[in-house]
Amino acid sequence: MEALFRNVRELVERAEKEQKLISEIMIEQEMLMTDRSREDIMKQMDRNLTVMEEAVEKGLQGVHSVSGLTGGDAVLLQAYRAKGNTLSGDLLLDAVSKAVATNEVNAAMGTICATPTAGSAGVVPGTLFAVQNKLNPTREQMIRYLFTAGAFGFVVANNASISGAAGGCQAEVGSAAGMASAAIIEMAGGTPQQSSEAFAITMKNMLGLVCDPVAGLVEVPCVKRNAMGAANAVVAADMALAGVTSRIPCDEVIGAMFEIGQSMPSALRETAKGGLAATPTGKWLESKIFGGAVVGSGQ
């Protein structure tokens, strides 16, 4: 069965022609592709939203991974934010802290919702629950946020890659950040075209990001990259809402990300053989955690 859209251009054109939200196009696509009712699909996404809420709440209470590499940073960020004199601003730091919270829960073997992967699962919920305090959305609008993000994730997954092993961290956190930025636009009342611009701006600024997990674990630098992905998403959304556009069309940016990923050496694609994983400290941490055992991948 043919999808309602195959790329961002088709997605935006359909939304504009039918005068519908991108989230609505994605809901209709899910109904078409899965032969399920709107009610069933909305309920499933509502459950996903609940998983995200619980992960953020758990992370903000403080969790630590078994390896000891990550944990507690979300608590530090919220405590710093509470002082009220942050340099980056309240909403941005709230998004960063909640993105970190989610990924700390993932590293601690907790339950998260992959968006689009486990290693990049903090960006979408981190931004969602931060802008929630600013925009005061309804529950349905929050669910639609996830469908909008999913629409762009669908395009990336089918035209490029969301895998760190295939395309580096640009394919994971880069995609997640673009998805979040596009979703912020819709929730803030922007247009489908502005969602496209926001995604493109976000992804352009994460091109070339490698996947180099220390000790092969989805912890360092993954958790902090989710923080930066969330920050990137919020700023890019503001840029698009201000009228800033991407000179390179969104679909071409996605294509460039795929080509860059294909040209990356395997040492920089989740093998833990290059980048930060290959630094003296990275190797020392691997030896400390695994007792000298060789780690071959980031899975």
DSSP string, 125-184: HHHHHHHHHHH---HHHHHHHHHHHHHHHHHHHHHS---HHHH-HIIIIIHHHHHHHHHH
Pick from 114-123, 212-221, 244-253, 288-297: least confident: 288-297
Spatial CA neighbour of 195 closest among 52, 13, 53, 44: 13
Q: How far is 113 from 120, CA to CA, in rounded Å?
A: 10
Residue bearing tokens 């460039």? 256
Given a cut of 60, whether residue 299 has pLDDT beyond it is: no
Domain 13-285 sits in CATH 1.10.4100: yes
Express each pLDDT in 10-22 by its tens digit.
999 999 999 999 9
Enter the pTM of the model.
0.96
Express each pLDDT in 34-84 by its tens digit.
999 999 999 999 999 999 999 999 999 999 999 999 999 999 999 999 999
User: What pLDDT does residue 294 have?
Assistant: 46
Express each pLDDT in 134-163 by its tens digit.
999 999 999 999 999 999 999 999 999 999
Spatial CA neighbour of 219 closest among 152, 291, 289, 159: 289
Q: How far is 276 from 226, CA to CA, in rounded Å?
A: 16
Spatial CA neighbour of 163 closest among 100, 229, 116: 116
Express each pLDDT in 219-276 by its tens digit.
999 999 999 999 999 999 999 999 999 999 999 999 999 999 999 999 999 999 999 9
Give the mean model confidence (pLDDT) for residues 104-120: 98
Domain residue ranges in the chain: 13-285
pLDDT interval class at 295 (50, 70, 90): very low
Q: How far is 232 from 213, CA to CA, in rounded Å?
A: 21
Express each pLDDT in 156-200 by its tens digit.
999 999 999 999 999 999 999 999 999 999 999 999 999 999 999
Q: How far is 143 from 17, CA to CA, in rounded Å?
A: 23
